[in-house]
Structures are given as structure tokens and as C-alpha cells.
Amino acid sequence: MKSIEELIANHPFLEGVNDAFLKEMAGCARNAAFDEDTYLIRESQDADQFFLIRNGSVALESYAPGRGALVFGTVKENDFLGVSWLTPPYRWQFDGRAKESVHAVAFDAKCLRGKCEANPAIGYELMKRFVPALMRRLKAARIQMMDVYGGPTDGGVLESAE
């Protein structure tokens, strides 16, 4: 079985970090597994963790009355889940549901925040990884918001029998 340090070192999100950084990160990490349809994070609960997804995928959802859970994103293996742990009030904004069995490395957010405060070099190294990933997600979300594809329009299938 791989050590937690090895699992972290092999994850693309932390590619190229040095041993000292890995050790610090590993001090806040544990192995985590989730069954299909269980939640890694729940809207409005404390954002006390962040996850590196090793395999499986997670649906990002929000609940709309009368419409049920709406999925607006998927986080897959080799990606990370969880941003709200970075900034106050440290509360999840959305649900994250395992779409299949998920294996991840879970980091204790308080522990990690403490290390970032104590050693800004760790915080800076993490930010260099989070910011580009967040920029990519923001760009994707903006294009999704523009609703450029078009879809079913009124009329059609029901209007006539061919």
C-alpha cells in the first residue's frame, strides 16, 4: 500500500513540489473513500476539508425547490474538490456527490490553514496551484453561463406525425 506522502506526490495537482512541502501536506492528510451517491461536501456545512480526487468522479450540485438537485459541474480524477475552505466563512457553497465510488486524499483544512499562516511559502506554493485551476474553472463557468449551444425549442416532436 502506498504511503499518504506517495499518494500526494503522485497527484498531478501537486506535481513538482519539494519533499519538505510534501511532508507538511502529508501531516494534514488522510486517505478517504466514498461510496456511490454519498456526499463529500454538503452546502452550508463547515468547509473543513479539501480533497485531491485519485479516482472516481464527483457531481457538483445545488438543490432547487421543485426541480431537485441540479448538476453544474463534474470533478474528476486528478483534480481537486473544495475551494471554500480557503476563505472565511469556511462554508461549502454546493453539494459534492460521488457519482461512483471515489478514492481521495482528504486534507484537514484547519491544519492546512495553520501551516499556511505559519509558513507563507506553503501558502504561496498552494496558491500557485489553486489560482490557475480556479481561472480555468471560472472561464469554463462563464462560457457555460452564456448558454451558447442552444437546445430544444418550442414545438417539434409533438406537433406532427411524419
Partner 1 sequence: MDASPDIVGATATTPASYTVVNKRWEFNGTATLHLARACEKDSWSPAAPGQFAMLYALGVGEAAISFSGLPETPGRYVVTVRRAGAISDALTRLKRGDGLGLRGPFGVGWPLDSVKNKDVVVVAGGLGLAPLRPIIEYLAHDRGVANSVSVLYGARSPDAILFERDLSRWRNDAGMNVRVTVDAAASAWRGDVGLVTTLIPEIEFRPKNSVALICGPEIMMRFAAEAMEDAGLPQKAIWLSMERNMKCAVGFCGHCQFGSYFICKNGPIFSYDRIRDTLLVREL
Using CB under 8 A as the binding rule, whether residue 97 contacts partner 1 is answered as yes
Cα–Cα separations (whole angstroms), residue 87 to 12, 21, 97, 122, 131: 23, 21, 22, 16, 13
Query: 103-142: which residues touch partner 1 (CB under 8 A)?
Result: 136, 139-140
Asked if residue 97 lies in contact with residue 40, where contact means CB atoms within 8 angstroms, the answer is yes
What's the count of helices (H) and strands (E) in the chain, helices before strands? 4, 8
- Tell me the site size for partner 1, rule CB under 8 A: 36
Contacting range for partner 1; rule: CB under 8 A; set: 38-46, 84-92, 119-127, 151-159: 151-159
Of the pair 48, 61, the CB lying nearest partner 1 is at 61
Residue 45 phi/psi, 5° resolution?
A: -85, 165
Helix/strand/coil for 105: strand
Closest approach of partner 1 to the CB of residue 116, in Å:
27
Taking the complex as a whole, how short is the minimal distance between the CB of residue 159 and partner 1, in angstroms?
8
11 binds partner 1 (CB under 8 A): no
